[in-house]
Structure 1
Amino acid sequence: MDTLITGGQAVTEAGVIAADLGIRGGRIAAIAAPGALSSSASEVVDAAGLLVLPGAVDLHTHFTGSHDRPLDEVREGTLGAAIGGITTVVEMPHSAPPATTLEAFRRKQALFASASAVDFALWAGLDGRNLEELPALNAAGAVAFKAFLTSGDPSGAATDEKGLPRLGDADLVRAMDVIRGFDGLIGVHAENHELLTAARLEQQAQGRRDARAHAAAGPELAEIEAVSRLLVFAGRTGVRLHVVHVSSAAAAGLIRAARDGVRVTFETCPHYLILDEDDLARIGADARCGPPLRPRTTVEALWTHVLDGAVDAIASDHCPYRPEQKRVGDASIWEAGMGLTGIETSAPMAFSEGVKRRGLSVVEFARMTATGPAKIAGLYPRKGAIRVGADADLALYDPTAEWQVRGSEFHGLGTWSAFEGMTCTGRVVRTLVRGRTVQHDRRRMAEPGFGRFLTRFDDIEARS
């Protein structure tokens, strides 16, 4: 064995077991009773008192979309991902230019390959003009295709050179038909454009600039309607559909009810499970995201879907605006960058709130943070689970450690947090990617560029 993980409680798909893990060639070679494996491994990691979880797979990151320093953010931000127990990131298409063409997609792949601390896969984007590019993007390794049903620009255009425009219904259905042809996945930001635009203009016409006005400008009805429409289109086309960052419990209920006839999955985010509209009013610009934070009653209703196993994935929606891009929103919420930084807190805060506070099983936590997203992206079984033959992607948690969230301590450009000052129970003390420790006690242990590019076509059995 190259590496032996001893003394820990391994969280497998079947349950939590006291087990030693043997790693060879970057993969899990053995799961054995404590003490059953030879201690002659080159490296022995003592995991006594720790939970050994499958490394999280974050389906929804925006490392390159909100600033003008993409290389810095990929290099440092993916170290932050490892510190948060994330071993694979699936990056959205936003960049300059967005990954809607094969050339732009390959440029983004090269950027991540040069700097990422963890393994990575890539989304491609849909802009209504690139239908002919989709098969080539799929062949190049895009694990999914992102569409927006809304835009911050009333015309529906992209709000900047890095973004994507609103996709109209006809273009959306055409894209679904093409993607269905190669059994690809379409992921959609589901909010009704007309409802959002009207609500925002109404708030602005009243002269409102306060944080709660942002909540009023993002009515839950806009999400419910858009999800309803998506489910009809996906059912008719037969495409695999993934609904991103669901904040509405009612929308989650619609997705669940449609599963008998629609191939649909959905994710939510820790901020929709922990923070609420009152927190938005208290925190201000650092809590502006889309969809907006919902009332506490909606948060609690969304938890019912989590606790009964209906949520497929928990994702960060990491959007690392620089602090000054948020501070301009202190005077007017409309000027604040739209999104939250969350790569270091996503899994630990979900663990703290779900496992420690609400009694979520740690097996379910692993399913939603690792196994589920790996399956959605087509990366399972080599990613997302502790099983023989899988990549040795592991997050070692001290389940009792308490720490306070301090955005100033984050890695990457987004050194702020909507969870600022909150206490988190559960800390990732070591993270391994393909058997290599990439962070230990928040210290970098692998060079930038260690991360590998992943596609849904990779064959785990063929890899050496």
Structure 2
Amino acid sequence: MLDRIITGATVVLDSGATHVDVGIADGRIAGLYAAGAAPDAADRLKAEGLVLMPGAIDAHTHFTASPDGVEDEIFAGTQGAAAGGVTTVIEMPHSLPPAIDLAGFAAKHALCAANAAVDFALWAGLDGVNAGQLRALHKAGAIGFKGFLCSPRADGAAPDPTALPAIGDRALLEAMRVAAEIGALVGIHSENHDILLAAQARLRAEGRMDMRAHAEAGPELAEIEAVQRLILFAEMTGAKTHVVHMASARAADLLNAARGRADLTAETCLHYLCLDEEDLVRIGPVARCGPPLRPRAVADALWDRVMAGAIDMIASDHCPYDPALKHNNLPVWEAGMGLTGIETNVPLLMSEGVIARGLPLHAFARMTATAPAQRFGLKQKGAIRIGLDADMTLWDLNGSTTVRGDAFHGRAKFSAFEGTVMRGQLRRTILRGEDVFADGHDLGRRGQGRFQRA
């Protein structure tokens, strides 16, 4: 007997959308059956009129980046992940201490294992001097190694004790060579440090304190140059290389042109697609992020690349700041650098990609689940397929949800999308066969999430 059967839904498989009943046993997908042909099940979930998708994998989250209340933030934040259709998060190395050695990595693992309500994997960090640690971190289960080509500090140091410094070219090449030897992935925040510093110094000298100054302090050129340099390093070292939060269509074009020469992927975020520089000016510090929101023409061009399949996946880059760090009274240069997104990223892709622009359902599944599972080696995740974990989401494409930051989980009760009506309503999120979110109710338990490794 099956533990559960889901009947009546339009099911999005690797091959496309179809009508089958999905059987679940022992937390995995046990069978795909013609209507009425499934064996008996202890629980029958009727889902007529709904769409069944693989659970999303968010490759870029920062639940542990604050030194205060981190246990509760991991739990609440991952409940928010479930409320946003995400069944696996890949947490960045920021923490106190950062995950740049085995001790830091073990501490982060213990925090997430005790508190996460959905499954999780962990990035380790590159700090420019820890190349000798990478083999041990990889063996311990690090899903990849995250590095920054820039820092808000002129000397390239980490901006705070939880963060990472900018990594120079010599150290980056060394790390990428080691990563290539052990088959590990390198993920890079790609902006040219010197270009950013020069732009900000000029604006500060001019006394600029307006929000548009933030956009001008992060010119697209800084991203284009850094991505181009990273592509060359990937080509020369053979390292599997991933560009995080890509905000430039021109950078995406460079990466796509080089795919045959190097092992390259890229993610983008819905705020780089749906918001632009004018929104930054209108919204204020809540919309400050790095890279900054671009002009509308850049965002539209990036949408074109998404619709053409030229961006591999979406991620949230969720940064759960204390709201005091995003307050409108703060000077532009002091506001927190990052947005909320774990509860809106996937629903916005459904709304603005699938419903508004006609993104095919199988492309939605690829970008939110299948591609990240494949890139990060999560062999039990990413698709509705017999034998894989029963991680799934149910959607009502005729429903809608209005973004309300004060209803978010965790401390970061703000959103650059405040008041936006997202078409297509997430009705249920299922983790390894169990409901962790259903019809507005949080059902995930503290510590329910399991550690995932490649």
Q: 2:123 aligns to what SS in structure 1?
A: strand
CA distance, structure 2, for counterparts of residue 67 and residue 268 of structure 1 = 27
Q: 1:334 aligns to what SS in structure 2?
A: coil
TM-superposed CA distance for 1:350, in Å, is: 1.0
40-49 vs 16-25, which moves further: 40-49
Tell me how many residue pairs correspond in the alignment. 453
Confirm or deny that 1:64 pairs with 2:55: no
Q: Please list the CA deviations of residues 117-151 of structure 1 after superposition, one character each: whole Å capped at 9, or x if unmatched.
A: 10000000000111111100000000100010000
Does the Cα contact within 8 Å between 2:224 and 2:248 map onto a contact in 1?
A: yes
CA distance, structure 1, for counterparts of residue 136 and residue 294 of structure 2 = 39
Q: Please list the CA deviations of residues 341-368 of structure 1 after superposition, one character each: whole Å capped at 9, or x if unmatched.
A: 1100010011100001011101101100
CA distance, structure 1, for counterparts of residue 440 and residue 141 of structure 2 = 31
CA distance, structure 2, for counterparts of residue 267 and residue 316 of structure 1 = 9
Does the Cα contact within 8 Å between 2:100 and 2:125 map onto a contact in 1?
A: yes
Kindly provide the amino acid, as one letter, of the partner of residue 364 in structure 2.
Answer: F
Confirm or deny that 1:9 pairs with 2:10: yes
Percentage of identical aligned residues: 54
CA distance, structure 2, for counterparts of residue 224 and residue 183 of structure 1 = 26
Matches within 5 A, 1:127-146: 127-146=127-146
Which structure 2 residue ranges, 5 or more long, are not aligned?
Answer: none
Does the Cα contact within 8 Å between 1:67 and 1:321 map onto a contact in 2?
A: no
Normalising by structure 1, report the TM-score.
0.97
Other-structure match for 2:441: 443
CA distance, structure 2, for counterparts of residue 182 and residue 280 of structure 1 = 41
Other-structure match for 1:346: 345
Kindly provide the amino acid, as one letter, of the partner of residue 44 in structure 1.
Answer: R
Confirm or deny that 1:31 pairs with 2:29: no
CA distance, structure 2, for counterparts of residue 444 and residue 301 of structure 1 = 37
Matches within 5 A, 1:275-290: 275-290=275-290
TM-superposed CA distance for 1:71, in Å, is: 0.7
Matches within 5 A, 1:383-422: 383-422=381-420
Other-structure match for 1:430: 428
Q: 1:255 aligns to what SS in structure 2?
A: helix
TM-superposed CA distance for 1:70, in Å, is: 1.1
Q: Please list the CA deviations of residues 401-454 of structure 1 after superposition, one character each: whole Å capped at 9, or x if unmatched.
A: 112100000011111000001110012111111111111123222321000001
CA distance, structure 2, for counterparts of residue 43 and residue 411 of structure 1 = 29
Kindly provide the amino acid, as one letter, of the partner of residue 434 in structure 2.
Answer: R
Confirm or deny that 1:245 pairs with 2:245: yes
Kindly provide the amino acid, as one letter, of the partner of residue 422 in structure 2.
Answer: C
Q: 1:335 aligns to what SS in structure 2?
A: coil
Kindly provide the amino acid, as one letter, of the partner of residue 455 in structure 1.
Answer: R
Kindly provide the amino acid, as one letter, of the partner of residue 111 in structure 1.
Answer: L
- Quickly say closer, same or farther: Cα 1:246–1:138, change in 2 above 3 A: same
Kindly provide the amino acid, as one letter, of the partner of residue 22 in structure 1.
Answer: G
Does the Cα contact within 8 Å between 2:235 and 2:261 map onto a contact in 1?
A: yes
Kindly provide the amino acid, as one letter, of the partner of residue 335 in structure 2.
Answer: A
Does the Cα contact within 8 Å between 1:93 and 1:123 map onto a contact in 2?
A: yes
CA distance, structure 1, for counterparts of residue 259 and residue 61 of structure 2 = 26
Superposition misfits of 4+ residues, deviation over 6 angstroms: none
Taking only aligned residues, the RMSD between alpha carbons, in angstroms, comes to: 0.9
TM-superposed CA distance for 1:331, in Å, is: 3.9
Does the Cα contact within 8 Å between 1:330 and 1:336 map onto a contact in 2?
A: no
Does the Cα contact within 8 Å between 1:67 and 1:322 map onto a contact in 2?
A: no
Q: 1:136 aligns to what SS in structure 2?
A: helix
Other-structure match for 1:453: 451
TM-superposed CA distance for 1:67, in Å, is: 5.2
Which structure 1 residue ranges, 5 or more long, are not aligned?
Answer: 457-464
- Quickly say closer, same or farther: Cα 1:66–1:214, change in 2 above 3 A: farther
